[in-house]
Amino acid sequence: MRRSKKIVWCAAATTSVALWASVAVAAPSAGGDEREVNKDHKRPRLTDLAWIQGHWTLDQGDDRLDEIWSPPVGDSMMGVFRWIKKGGKVWMFELLTIIDDGDAIWFRFKHFDRKLRGWEEKDESMQFRLARTTNKEAVFDNPKPGNPHRVIFRRLGDDKLLVRLEGEDKGKPTTADFVYHRKSAKAQRP
C-alpha cells in the first residue's frame, strides 16, 4: 500500500520535531568564513558541496541515526540514511542523491521501511533545488508546495554536520535540527 506525501511528511515531521525538541539545539549560525563559494564561476558546482561527504552519526536516547555521503564523482553524490529505534530495530531508510542536472543542482531522496517498501509513489521522490551555498552551508528549496519547504546542510566545524528541515504544521512554521558527529574509525559503536 502506498502512502501519500502528506502522510510521509507528517510521520517524518512528528518524529523529527520530537527528536529536535529533545535535542534542544540552539540555531547555530554559519559564522566565520561565509564567502560565497561560487564567486569565481556562474553557478555552484557539485564540488562546492564536497564538505558534506563522510559518515555522520547521531545518538539520541535509544535511537541511532546514520547518514553517509560519498564524495562528488562525475555529476553526483550519493548517500544513505538509516534510523534505528530502541532495541536495534531499523525504522526507516532513505536513498539520497545530490545531482548536477546541468541547469541546477538537486537534492533528492526516497523513504523506505525496514522491508524496503517505498513510502513515496514509485516514480516520485522528495526534490529540492540548490538555492544558495557557501563553503559551510547548502540551502535546498522545495519548488513545489509541500513539506518540508527547505533542507539545509551546515558544517559546524570539522566533526559536526547540521541537517535542518524547515516546513509548517497547521500553518505554523516548524524546524527540525539533526546535529550529526563525524564517525571515526576508532569510535565505532555496533
28-32, 113-117, 142-146: segment of lowest average pLDDT: 28-32
Three-state secondary structure call for residue 178 = strand
Work out the pLDDT band at 28, boundaries 50, 70, 90: very low
Exposed, middle or buried, 124 (CB in 10 Å: 0-12/13-18/19+)? middle
pLDDT for 146: 78
20/59: higher pLDDT: 59
Q: Where are the beta strands (DSSP E) in 52-159?
A: 54-60, 63-69, 76-85, 89-100, 105-112, 126-133, 137-141, 150-155
pLDDT for 185: 54
All cell numbers assigned to 27: 540555531
- 163: closest CA among 37, 52, 22? 52
What is the pTM (predicted TM-score) of this model?
Answer: 0.77
Q: Please compute the mean of the pLDDT values over residues 81-101 and round it to a whole number.
A: 96
pLDDT for 6: 41
Task: Tell whether the model's pLDDT for residue 14 goes beyond 50.
Answer: no
Question: Which residues on adjacent β-strands are paired with residue 12?
Answer: none
50/13: higher pLDDT: 50
pLDDT for 144: 86
Q: What is the DSSP string of 22-34?
A: HHT-------S--
Q: Please compute the mean of the pLDDT values over residues 134-149 and round it to a whole number.
A: 91
pLDDT for 43: 82
Domains in the chain, CATH or no CATH each: 5-26+35-182 (2.40.128.20)
pLDDT for 54: 96
